[in-house]
């Protein structure tokens, strides 16, 4: 007989998220505003969920997902890639709650991993202010949470603007390292590590597209370093 895992945070998590049920009006894509109510159809709930799963911030972490919404009784339920919603459960917060169940490990129930995923969804769908309120509510209701079940960003899903931001970040790191190198001579191992770091950044397109100005400048810097280090 398989021993059932205790869902110790269930009631505390429900209490902590209840203030979100009337939040509504989440702006998620191209200015679209959703304000789901108990009068909303399953098709409208499905549309909201599809928009959430199509967001870059979602696909960067969880990949391409198709979660199906069906009519149900009572509240919300999640089964693998399916969610059922009773009429009173047809609001954005409960849909995000059930989506978090679909994304969390099957054994999580309402544990810290689940709570971390739900907080991540709320922050990106409702905004930083609501996420801050939820963290405070977690604290009030003694709900533990962590990010251990949230996958790292898949850089293949980055938008053009995000790629530029990442390239700018790498340029700043590159300039910082160059400044440190000018102020303090590097040893042989440090020189080799710097060259390997920059080579990996260029090869993984973190310094921009292969023929972009940023990537060209990075390659020139790499050649200069190799020449200076006699590598």
> pLDDT, tens digit, for every residue of 7-53?
889 999 999 999 999 877 777 766 778 889 999 999 999 999 999 99
Q: Nearest 10 degrees: CA dihedral of 88, 93, 94, 95? A: 110
Sequence ranges of the domains in the chain:
10-140, 158-229
Q: Which pLDDT value is given to residue 189?
A: 78
The crossing angle, in degrees rounded to 10, of helices 160-183 and 213-229 is: 20
- pLDDT at residue 155 in the model: 73
Residues constituting the chain? 231
* Band of residue 58 on the pLDDT scale cut at 50, 70, 90: very high
Separation CA 52–CA 23 (nearest Å): 16
Beta bridge pairs of residue 32 = 29
The DSSP letter of residue 37 is -
Average of per-residue pLDDT across 169-198: 76
pLDDT at 4: 59
Span 167-189, average pLDDT = 75
| Strand 82-85 relative to strand 68-71, pairing | parallel
- Alpha carbon distance 231, 223 (integer Å): 10
- The helix/strand/coil state of 206 is coil
Q: Taking 50 as the threshold, does the pLDDT of residue 1 lie above it?
A: no
Collect all residues with Cβ–Cβ distance below 8 Å to 168 and sequence separation of at least 6. none
Query: For the residues 106-114, what does the mean pLDDT come to?
Result: 93
pLDDT for the residue 211: 77
Q: Which residue has the tokens 């490990």?
A: 105
Query: Is pLDDT above 90 for 93?
Result: yes
Summary mean pLDDT of the chain: 86
Interaxial angle between packed helices 112-126 and 10-17, expressed in degrees from 0 to 180 and rounded to the nearest 10: 10
How does residue 141 score in pLDDT terms, banded at 50, 70 and 90? very high
Tokens of residue 102, six digits: 């679909």
What confidence tier does 151 reach under pLDDT thresholds 50, 70, 90?
very high
């Amino acid at each position: 007989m398989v021993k059932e895992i205790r869902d110790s945070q269930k009631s505390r998590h429900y209490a902590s998220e209840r203030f979100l049920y009337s939040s509504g009006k989440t702006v998620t894509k191209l200015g679209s505003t959703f304000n789901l109510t108990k009068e909303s159809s399953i098709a409208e709930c499905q549309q909201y969920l599809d928009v959430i799963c199509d967001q870059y911030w979602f696909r960067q972490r969880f990949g391409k997902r198709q979660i199906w919404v069906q009519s149900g009784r009572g509240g919300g339920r999640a089964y693998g890639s399916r969610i059922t919603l009773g009429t009173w459960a047809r609001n954005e917060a409960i849909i995000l709650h059930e989506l978090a169940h679909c994304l969390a490990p099957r054994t999580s129930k309402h544990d810290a991993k689940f709570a971390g995923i739900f907080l991540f969804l709320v922050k990106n769908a409702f905004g930083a202010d609501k996420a801050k309120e939820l963290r405070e509510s977690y604290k009030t209701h003694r709900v533990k949470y962590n990010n251990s079940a949230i996958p790292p960003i898949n850089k293949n899903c980055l938008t053009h603007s995000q790629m530029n931001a990442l390239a700018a970040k790498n340029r700043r790191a590159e300039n910082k390292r160059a400044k440190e190198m000018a102020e303090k001579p590097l040893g042989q191992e440090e020189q080799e590590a710097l060259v390997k770091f920059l080579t990996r950044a260029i090869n993984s397109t973190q310094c921009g597209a292969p023929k972009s100005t940023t990537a060209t400048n990075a390659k020139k810097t790499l050649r200069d370093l190799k020449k200076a280090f006699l590598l």
